[in-house]
Amino acid sequence: DPFTRGWVQNGKSGKFYSFALLELDRRVWMVKRFLRQHGYHYWGGESYGGALFDTGIRFGDAAASCGMGYIGKSNVLVTEKYGPRINMTYLATDAPLVTTRQTVESRCGSCRACEKTCMSGAILGDYFFHQRQCECMINVKPNMDYYSDFVKQDCDRCLRVCPQGEVKWSDKRKEASL
């Protein structure tokens, strides 16, 4: 939901932290501990920059090449269950893993929901995406959506309106009220 996608500011340090990324970090540490206990090596797993970002490999492209979903018109990974509403991290290991490489075909078709809602005009249609234009819109302070002095949220409009996926942010709100 938009709150867990938001960033919370630490009152003492002034740094912003993401609830979702903190939970991902916790789970990565659990997997790292498991791998270490079984004698395997690992590399990566940092949610807050570095490592994989320095290689030039995009999470979404790597995940799509593994069959986890497809790259949609908004240039993000779209999964069957959650659509584009996911957070990702990575962990490379020398542990023997069973691979089931399969490609997932795009289901965007003629849908233009993300293109129509994009404030920056970065989604240009036919899978053309202007990344810098999107980043500029998100990172310009007057264009950020603020919940309070301590919580802010990126745009994410394209993620909210995408009809793909079984679970949507609005579904979680309905479940919570039941």
Q: Can you read off the two tokens belonging to residue 100?
A: 């089931």
pLDDT reported for residue 61? 86
User: Which amino acid, 162?
Assistant: C
pLDDT of residue 127: 79
d(CA 80, CA 19): 23
* Number of C-beta neighbours around residue 52 at 10 A: 20
pTM for this one? 0.73
The DSSP-derived string for 101-127 is: --------TT--HHHHH-SS--EEETT
Nearest CA-CA partner of 61 in 5, 10, 131? 131
What per-residue confidence (pLDDT) applies to 162?
92
Taking Cα atoms as reference points, which of 115, 137, 138, 162 lies closest to residue 7?
Answer: 138
Q: End-to-end alpha-carbon separation of the chain, Å? A: 16
* Amino acid (1-letter code) at residue 172: K
What is the pLDDT tens value at each position of the chain, 178 positions in all? 555 556 666 667 777 677 777 788 889 999 999 999 999 999 877 765 544 555 667 788 888 988 889 999 988 899 999 899 888 887 889 999 887 768 889 999 999 999 998 888 889 877 788 888 887 776 665 545 544 454 555 677 888 889 998 877 655 444 444 3
Rounded CA Rg of the chain: 18
Calpha distance 160→172 (Å, rounded): 12
Q: pLDDT value at position 102?
A: 80
